[in-house]
Structure 1
Amino acid sequence: MKEEKLHIHTIQSYLVMETEKFYQKIMADFGISHFYSFQTDEEKKVPFLEDSCSNILFEYSGNNMNSFVIGNSGKLQTLTLKRNCDYFGIRFQPGANPFFENQEVKDLVGQRIDLRNFDILTNLSEKMSEQNTFTNRMCTFMEEYRNWLKTTQSGQKHLFFQMVDLIVKKDGLLKISELIDYTGYSSRYINLLFETFLGCSAKQFCKNVKMHTIINELNRSNVDSFPNFYSKFDFYDQSHFVHSFKEFTGVSPKEYINQVKKSSYKTKIVDF
């Protein structure tokens, strides 16, 4: 099987919409999707979509810094952002976060945990608290992060990442039966790997990838209607597509498109 670089880019659109500028640096390597940064001028409760990724979020306010691990949300949740704060985050690839190799994934799903609860990350927190620019924060994080990277991985995790890679390449449009044919393993074993390393089933991960593929298409384009979306992404009909989209994002596709336009979404993203 040919190895290719794994990358699923889940940008958490509502973070972009609710800020003046959203800065990001795409990594797509070392288990990291991207670094990101934004500022707030008032307290906000922002929808946080399920994306099968964990995050570390640093919250700077004056001379103080708080930091959190945000596990795979498991469902649509709300992220509370404080007033007048500067945020810097790291979004990991699905199943990747070497800081927490010994942590049960299920214990992180849907959780926002203070980084101070993890003694192994004390040094990281201290160093990050001293940084005040995007580049310095990114470089400081990587210096510490490299100490935790493993040069080898178990056969189980290697197989898991191969399946994740395949699902991402197919935009989530993959049946479990196809994974069975591809790997030669049973659905029970496949789901065991996904539950172990990701905290959700293979079917749910396929859905997450598919929905974020749709969201990214809506974010990039000037879509006013979507009559072909339901067939392109294997929905039964238009009604099924609208229902699934609203369940995932909290709004209908039409409402989401209006939010993208109203927020001038595309002008807010700044790539490093």
Structure 2
Amino acid sequence: MILEKQKKIISPKQPYFVMNSSRYYKAVVMNYGISHFYAFYNDGAIDSSVFAIPDGCIDIYFCCDEEEPNAYICGTVFHPEIAFTEKNKYLFGVRFLPGNSIRFKNAAMSNFVESKIPFLDVIEDRELVEGITSSRNFNYQIKLFMDMYLKLYYNSKVINKYENLDKFLIANIIKNVGQIKIKELADETNYSVRYINKIFVQEFGLTPKVFSRMMRFQDLLSNLNNLELDIFDTDLTEIAMRLGYYDQSHMIKDFKKFTNTTPNKYIYSLRKAQYNKKLIIV
């Protein structure tokens, strides 16, 4: 088996959102700090929870329900956690790139880690929420969000004296797909490892080591999504070596920590749920 050349951009995945939907629409952006937009209908047909896995990202999702519309800002999780309890609902969302977020006035990414906060508690734009939640038109919803977001993106002034350092750390961890030692980052910036850890936690709510593990895990997901169902140990061994794990058992242990399942069982779940048929790129 020949693996694809290592990519330098992480496209964060939440595969269980796709698996537990009837159709999952995705519009890729990879700009302005945004990874992509998505929309799906959770019809409750599959007897499985819709849960989120670690991705180092912030999501904003809108539940488009006539009786109980709502919108939330959700930060990354450290372990698999239930993301949606809404059944028979249409949901529209935006996923930011790892380490990026909407430019909130009084909140950093660290405020949202393992949290689910009402959108209106942070951004008082009821017109936007009403516009998005009253629609089922994916492209129209994207337009409404971007009209609001780009104004904040270009006009907001981020008061953060560590901004350049933050960007450097995130960019280098992603560039190396998590395969970089914190000591190397410290040496590159002429700061101590302790200081790097302190600033990273302060801004992002997790250590650079944990964020690096999430990026390597997300890269692993991309590799597994392209494997056939009947894989051999040689495939997993090759992937483990390429992604910087000590060995195959280390990779499996890490994967299980982030998903509560093994790579083999995960691949089986993808096929059983007909993942590729449900994922529609627009």
Say whether the fold is shared (TM-score over 0.5). yes
Shift of 1:195: 1.2
Q: Which residue of 1 aligns with 2:4?
A: none
Letter in 2 for 1:42: G
Deviates further, 53-62 or 43-52: 43-52
What is the aligned counterpart of 1:162 among 158, 168, 177? 168
- Counterpart in 2 of 1:53? 57
- Which residue in 2 is equivalent to 1:261? 271
Query: In the alignment, what sits opposite 1:233?
Result: 243
Secondary structure of 1:120's counterpart equals: coil
Deviation sequence 1:48-102 (CA, Å, 0-9, x none): 1111111111011245421111112233211123121111001112332234241
Mean Cα displacement is larger for which, 76-85 or 210-219? 76-85
Q: 2:262 aligns with which of 247, 252, 258?
A: 252
SS at match of 2:205: coil
Contact 2:13 2:55 in 1 (8 A): no
Runs of at least 5 residues in structure 2 that lack an aligned partner in the other structure: 1-7
Residue identity opposite 1:246 in structure 2: K
Alpha-carbon spacing, 1:101–1:28, altered in 2? closer, same or farther (3 Å)? farther
Distance in 2 between residues matched to 1:8 and 1:227, nearest whole Å: 22
TM-score by length of 2: 0.87
Matched, 1:203 2:209: yes
Unaligned runs of 5+ in 1: 1-5
Structure 1 SS opposite 2:93 = strand
Distance of aligned partners of 1:187 and 1:150 in 2 relative to their CA distance in 1, 3 Å threshold = farther
Distance 1:215 1:98 in 2: 25
Take 1:21 and 1:82, find their aligned partners in 2: how far apart are those partners?
16
1:210 Cα deviation from its structure 2 partner: 0.0
Contact 1:53 / 1:95 at 8 angstroms: preserved in 2? yes
Name which of 22, 40, 43 aligns with 1:41: 43
Residue 196 of structure 1 deviates from its aligned partner by: 2.2
Amino acid at match of 2:278: K
Please report how far the alpha carbon of residue 172 of structure 1 lies from its aligned counterpart in structure 2 after TM superposition. 1.0
Counterpart check, 1:84 vs 2:93: no
Separation in 2, partners of 1:123, 1:96:
24
Q: Identify the residue that residue 5 of structure 2 maps to in structure 1.
A: none
Aligned match of 2:178? 172
- Shift of the alpha carbon at 1:37? 0.8
> Which stretch has the larger CA shift, 80-89 or 104-113?
104-113
Task: Report SS of the residue matched to 2:218.
Answer: helix
One-letter identity of the residue aligned with 2:193: S
Q: Which deviates further from its counterpart, 142-151 or 248-257?
A: 142-151
2:246 is paired with a residue whose SS is coil
1:212-269 Cα shifts (integer Å, max 9, x gaps)? 0001111123261312222222222222221111111110111111111212222221
Percent identity over the alignment?
28
Please give the secondary structure, in 2, of the residue aligned with 1:79.
strand
Q: What is the rounded CA distance, in whole Å, between the counterparts of 1:113 and 1:176 in structure 2?
A: 31
**Which residue identity lines up with residue 25 of structure 2 in the other structure?**
Y
Corresponding position of 2:188: 182
For residues 102 and 163 of structure 1, what CA distance do their matches in structure 2 show? 22
Q: Which amino acid aligns with 1:17?
A: M
Residues 220 and 266, structure 1, Cα contact 8 Å, conserved in 2: no
Answer whether contact 1:7 1:93 (CA < 8 A) is retained.
no
SS of residue matched to 2:61: strand
- Deviation of 1:142 after TM superposition, in Å, equals 0.4
- Given that 1:219 and 1:265 are in contact with CA atoms closer than 8 Å, whether structure 2 keeps it comes out as no
- The CA RMSD over aligned residues, in Å, is 2.1
Tell me, in whole angstroms, the C-alpha distance in 2 between the residues paired with 1:165 and 1:106. Answer: 17
Whether the 8 Å CA contact 1:95–1:197 is kept in 2: the answer is: no
Corresponding residue number in structure 2 for 1:135: 139
Shift of 1:7: 4.6
**Structure 1 SS opposite 2:149:** helix
The TM-score, its normalising length taken from structure 1, stands at 0.90
Q: Is the 8 A contact 1:32 1:93 kept in 2?
A: yes
Tell me which amino acid in the other structure corresponds to 1:41. Answer: D
CA deviation after TM superposition for structure 1 residue 126, in Å: 2.8
Using the TM superposition, name which of 124-133 and 209-218 deviates more: 124-133
- Equivalent residue for 2:224? 218
